[in-house]
């Protein structure tokens, strides 16, 4: 009987369950979108119970569709939208409030206070991160400050905090196990990435009781067995965890120092492997843990773009100008340029390199001749321009000039986007054969832990290119377009 690793990819807009065979091929995939809540300007929330239910649904679907049983799984790997913060009652397993999503800005006033108190350097030195509502720490404080009775319960040890990985392990293990992995811990603003422990000073500053924090484990080991009641009557090892961006770096086999990938999902995240050295950024990048495996922790530099594919969702769901995300490709290709239009999708502020949580979206260059196609194209182009901003920071910090870019994520199905990306970066862009790289990374981590795969070298040999997009644009055009983008961003930031 064939055996599989089951990867659970719990993303910002959808949950996926994917079956991988021993050749690392996708044998089955099920996906479900779930509800996004936008209760106030700049706030984004999820219902953690809806997330759990969507995960159960997609697992059931993928097993059923492919007529495999839960007992055919050798291991489960989990990868997740990072930073999104869930706090739940330890005894009932019920969340005390919605999950506060990584994009959400409700803890901006807390961040402002920390910055005003001159704490930026302390946080950056210990965590590699910046003080920004993006990270979990200030979200936890916000929840404990705003949900009635929460702080008292947390102090009494009755509440648990977790990112989505912790929440899913807790649920899959029948409420027995409360853990996370290095990659997810490194996004909380509470974890010392050099000493590899929760930082008591930072927990005190943010008034987070350490009793509510999960144990931090490596990214590849058996953490727990599934509870038969939560997993189709079977006990299967949960054996790999990584935040989705680190999982994508692993799935793209970027195991060598200097290798980088860019993932275009809801947001867009570029990570460069820096090996066992935690490189400090001077250009607005984050220093983060790439993974902990085989008793060793490796680091990455990261550029974070908050709005990428979600700008395309906004065209679809918010403005109703396209019916499907994929329509953005033919519409963009139907015109020869964006005709001077720039869309700066700073819907929840701007990440790398600006870290401006007050900025909001803007559109420039509209004329009576601007068509829907120009508008859609300008929105799609904004993903590529934001990536160029990140690449510039990455090259400045690492001293490495990019020779090519490996890409993945939902929006890389869009050939127009990848061609424009190559043109605006002036480097070739390579799309791998397996686009579900995030899930593949989680599957690899779990499969390595249980001996389904032997070494990373085997995984490196598996990487296959689907298509390369080479540079076609002349330098003069590239420079002019990018100058326009920079002017648009500066004007957006000035409007407050």
In the bound state with ligand G3P, the residue whose beta carbon lies nearer, of 154 and 405, is 405
Token pair recorded at residue 451: 């001996």
Phi, psi dihedral angles at 195 (to 5 degrees): -85, -10
Residue with tokens 């319960």: 153
* 436 part of the interface to ligand G3P, by CB under 6 A: no
Select 127 or 226, whichever has its Cβ closest to ligand G3P: 127
Residue 325 interaction partner, one of ligand ADP, ligand G3P, none, beta carbon < 5-8 Å per kind: ligand ADP
Kindly state whether residue 492 participates in binding ligand G3P, applying the rule CB under 6 A: no
Q: Closest separation between CB of residue 82 and ligand ADP, Å?
A: 11
Question: Long-range CB contacts (< 8 A, 24+ apart) of 426-429?
Answer: 426/471, 426/473, 426/475, 426/478, 427/402, 427/403, 427/471, 428/404, 428/468, 428/469, 428/470, 428/471, 429/404, 429/405, 429/468, 429/469
Residue 326 binding ligand ADP, by CB under 6 A: yes
Q: Is 442 in the site for ligand ADP (CB under 6 A)?
A: no
Burial 187-200 (b: 16+ CB within 10 A, else e): bbbbbbbeeeebbe
Per-residue binder mask for ligand G3P (CB under 6 A), 79-118, x = binder: --xxx------------------x----------------
CB neighbour burial string for 136-157, b if at least 16 within 10 angstroms, e if fewer: bbbbbbbbbeebeebbebbeee
Specify burial of residue 246 (Cβ count, 10 A radius: 0-12, 13-18, 19+): buried
Straight-line distance from the first to the last Cα atom of the chain, in angstroms, rounded to the nearest whole number: 61
Asked if 11 interacts with ligand G3P (CB under 6 A), we say yes
Whole-number Cα distances in Å, 167 to 45, 124, 470: 15, 27, 42
Q: What's the count of helices (H) and strands (E) in the chain, helices before strands?
A: 16, 23
414 annotated binding-site participant: yes
The region of 5-13, 191-199, 248-256, 449-457 touching ligand ADP under the rule CB under 6 A is 5-13
Q: Which residues in the 263-322 window bind ligand ADP by CB under 6 A?
A: 265-266, 309-310, 312-313
Q: Is 245 labelled a binding residue?
A: yes
Is there a binding annotation on residue 12?
Answer: yes
# of chain residues touching ligand ADP (CB under 6 A): 19
* 16 carries a ligand binding annotation: yes
Per CB under 6 A, does 265 bind ligand G3P?
yes
Task: Supply the minimum distance, in Å, between the C-beta of residue 251 and ligand G3P.
Answer: 12
The answer to whether the annotation marks 480 as part of a ligand binding site is no
The response to whether 14 counts as a known ligand-binding position is yes
| Cα–Cα distance measured from residue 4 to residue 25, given in angstroms and rounded to the nearest whole number | 10
Per the annotation, does 56 bind a ligand?
no
d(CA 60, CA 66): 10
421 by DSSP, 3-state: which?
helix
- Residue with Cβ nearer ligand G3P (192 or 266): 266
Is there binding between residue 382 and ligand ADP (CB under 6 A)?
Answer: no
Rg (CA), the chain: 22
Q: For binding to ligand G3P (CB under 6 A), which residues are involved?
A: 11-12, 81-83, 102, 243-245, 265-267
Residue numbers belonging to the annotated binding site for glycerol: 82-83, 134, 244-245
Residue numbers belonging to the annotated binding site: 12-14, 16, 82-83, 134, 244-245, 266, 309, 313, 410, 414
Q: For binding to ligand ADP (CB under 6 A), which residues are involved?
A: 11-14, 265-266, 309-310, 312-313, 325-326, 328-329, 409-411, 413-414
């Amino acid at each position: 009987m064939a055996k599989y690793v089951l990867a659970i990819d719990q993303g910002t807009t959808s949950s996926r369950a994917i079956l991988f065979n021993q050749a690392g091929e996708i044998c089955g995939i099920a996906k479900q979108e779930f509800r996004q809540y936008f209760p106030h300007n700049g706030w984004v929330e999820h219902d953690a119970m809806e997330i759990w239910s969507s995960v159960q649904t997609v697992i059931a679907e993928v097993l059923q569709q492919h007529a495999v049983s839960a007992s055919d799984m050798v291991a489960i790997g989990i990868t997740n939208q990072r930073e999104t913060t869930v706090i739940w009652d330890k005894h009932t397993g019920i969340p005390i409030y919605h999950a506060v999503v990584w994009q959400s800005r409700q803890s901006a006033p807390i961040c402002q206070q920390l910055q005003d108190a001159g704490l930026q350097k302390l946080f950056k030195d210990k965590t590699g991160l910046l003080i920004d509502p993006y990270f979990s720490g200030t979200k936890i404080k916000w929840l404990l400050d705003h949900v009635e009775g929460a702080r008292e319960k947390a102090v009494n040890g009755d509440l648990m905090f977790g990112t989505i990985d912790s929440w899913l392990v807790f649920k899959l293990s029948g409420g027995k196990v409360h853990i996370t992995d290095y990659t997810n811990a490194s996004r909380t603003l509470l974890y010392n990435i050099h000493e590899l422990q929760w930082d008591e000073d930072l927990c005190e500053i943010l008034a987070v009781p350490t009793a509510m924090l999960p144990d931090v484990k490596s990214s590849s080991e058996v953490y727990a067995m599934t509870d038969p009641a939560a997993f189709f009557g079977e006990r299967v090892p949960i054996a790999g965890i990584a935040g989705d961006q680190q999982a994508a770096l692993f799935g793209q086999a970027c195991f060598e120092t200097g290798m980088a990938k860019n993932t275009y999902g809801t947001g867009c995240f570029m990570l460069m492997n820096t090996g066992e050295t935690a490189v400090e950024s001077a250009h607005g990048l984050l220093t983060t843990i790439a993974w902990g495996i085989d008793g060793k922790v490796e680091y990455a530099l990261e550029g974070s773009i908050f709005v990428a594919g979600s700008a395309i969702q906004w065209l679809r769901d918010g403005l109703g100008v396209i019916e499907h995300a994929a329509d953005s490709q033919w519409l963009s290709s139907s015109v020869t340029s964006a005709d001077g239009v720039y869309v700066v999708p700073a819907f929840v502020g701007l990440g790398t390199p600006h870290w401006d949580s007050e900025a909001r979206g803007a559109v420039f260059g509209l004329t009576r001749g601007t068509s829907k196609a120009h508008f859609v194209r300008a929105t799609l182009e904004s993903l590529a321009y934001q990536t160029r901003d990140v690449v510039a920071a990455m090259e400045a910090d690492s001293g490495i000039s990019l020779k090519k870019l490996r890409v993945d994520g939902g929006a890389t199905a869009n050939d127009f986007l990848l061609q424009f990306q190559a043109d605006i970066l002036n480097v070739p862009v390579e799309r791998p054969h397996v686009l579900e790289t995030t899930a593949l990374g989680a599957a690899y981590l779990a499969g390595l832990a249980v001996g389904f795969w032997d070494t990373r070298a085997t995984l490196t040999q598996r990487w296959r290119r689907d298509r390369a997009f080479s540079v076609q644009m002349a330098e003069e055009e590239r420079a002019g377009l990018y100058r326009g983008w920079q002017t648009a961003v500066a004007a957006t930031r000035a409007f407050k």
